[in-house]
Amino acid sequence: MSETIRHKYRRPRKVQPTDCERAGAGFIRLSLLTIVGISFIVSGCEQLKEKNLTLKPGTLTVLTRNIPTVYYLGPDGETGFEYDLVKNLARELHLKLKIKVADSISAMLAAMAANTADIAAGALTRTKERERRFTFGPDYYTVRQQLVYRKGCTHPKDIAELQRFRLLVPARSSYVERLTELRQQYPHLQWQTTDALSSDQLLEKVWLRKIPCTIVDSNILALNRRYYPELKAAFPISKEQPLAWIINPKLTRLRRELKIWLKKIKQNGQFAQLEKRYYYTGEINFDYVDIKVFIRMIKNRLPKFKGLFEKYGRKYRLPWTLLAAKSYQESHWDPEATSVTGVRGIMMLTNTTAHHLKIEDRLNPEESIRGGAKYLRRLLDRVPESYPKFDRLNVAMAAYNVGMGHIYDARRLARQLNLDPDRWATLAKVLPLLKQRKYYEQLKYGYARGREPVGYVNRINNYRNILEKKLGLLDRDRAIGSILKVDNSGGL
């Protein structure tokens, strides 16, 4: 029994593997190690890619365009709907914002194809053609392509009638894609394209009656109607289309963060505030005020503030009638006025300007008038004394509207065009050119709505002339002669 048991449970003899078996096992172990190693490397690369929020750590590099719906330099510095959005995003992600300006849509797309930026934010429509080439972030806005004309001018009533008109639209734009689609149904559609003119420049040509109509997105029309209220939409030529930013395909984490951020600012109301600031058209600027209303205001509303205009006119050596006229242009002498762009008070100061001038309450009439006078005096002291005395004040008022940097650019451009830069009449001709790419892309401060400050100055001078006539102030030279003296004291 015991032997049988010993025999039954006897330890088997150990068999040594052959050389071939040993080689095979080694190969299997090596293969497993290789697979694990590759998996580790791939996983590490993916983790590294996820870790990189942007191409350059700590910096959000954004490609954009120098146009009013996107990015431009205003009186208080950089501004624009898309600029404010990317600035908000950079702040949310604790990144430094770096802006790169592309000359055109095609230049922007080429730069993104070369991976030179993290984001392209340039009012880009998400189209099928573009989606084949680029990675888009979430849709942030919806627009519709519209046929635009000037009120009172001949224009097509529908797409079929559009075949009798020759269109001018930006080259390589989503409008060209849409017109190409429509031509299948309307074979006589014809159009020309331009690389030299942007959509807002084409709208200006429509307003000037130089072309009968053009096509723009609804948001571009909304913004431009503030300045050209006679522009009208005849009919849409497309369904609603989304706007979205192009994201560098390497930055999957940034794309995810972008989606979270966009949801947040739409829920907390920040996005709606920006939309209202740039695109709300319920309140057109006070560009076309009836003169009868102004004369009635001189009698009924001006007396409440006349003493303050006189007080700070004396302090800052400015004609009080000029301050009053400027204030009427800004606010209709309403101390609680607030515009969709965020400027407030009887002199309509921006928050940035008020901060620099140490104005605590923009809705306080005296504070606002003091700030407006102080700021205009500062600008006037920066205007070259080579201007005639009447011209200096016009230049200062234009700078108040558009920013002194663009005034300097207009002077440079005047010299290039062999015009006298020391005359307001010259600047009035040159400033509108700052809207044209062939000029502004060569200048330091870039794009500007140059026609607006010219109209702004003309309207203020018109109000002032009416005011002085109504008040019997005929000695105009005596009224403005004191502006020439520069004084570095006086609380500036």
Instruction: Look at residue 90 in the predicted model and tell me its pLDDT.
Output: 97
Instruction: Look at residue 28 in the predicted model and tell me its pLDDT.
Output: 53
CATH fold of the domain at 291-484: Lysozyme (1.10.530)
Instruction: Look at residue 16 in the predicted model and tell me its pLDDT.
Output: 58
Which CATH architecture best describes the domain 59-143+244-279?
3-Layer(aba) Sandwich (3.40)
- Map out the domains of the chain as residue ranges: 19-51, 59-143+244-279, 145-239, 291-484
CA 2 remoteness from chain centre? 99
List 82, 330, 452, 468, catalytic entry: 330
CATH of segment(s) 145-239: 3.40.190.10
* 59-143+244-279 against 145-239: fold identical: yes
Note the pLDDT tens digit of each residue in 41-71.
444 444 444 568 999 999 999 999 988 889 9
Q: End-to-end distance of the chain based on CA atoms, in angstroms? A: 118
CB 62 within 8 A of CB 98: yes
Q: What is the rounded CA–CA span in Å between residue 238 and residue 143?
A: 9
Q: What is the rounded CA–CA span in Å between residue 363 and residue 337?
A: 8
Note the pLDDT tens digit of each residue in 212-226.
999 999 999 988 887
Q: What is the rounded CA–CA span in Å between residue 432 and residue 268?
A: 38
Instruction: Look at residue 18 in the predicted model and tell me its pLDDT.
Output: 58
Q: Which residues of the chain have pLDDT under 50?
A: 1-12, 14, 36, 38-49, 282-289, 474-492
Q: What is the rounded CA–CA span in Å between residue 410 and residue 421?
A: 8
Q: What is the rounded CA–CA span in Å between residue 69 and residue 369?
A: 31
Q: What is the rounded CA–CA span in Å between residue 399 and residue 381?
A: 12
Overall pTM surpassing 0.95 (yes/no): no
In the residue annotation, 330 being an active-site residue is answered as yes
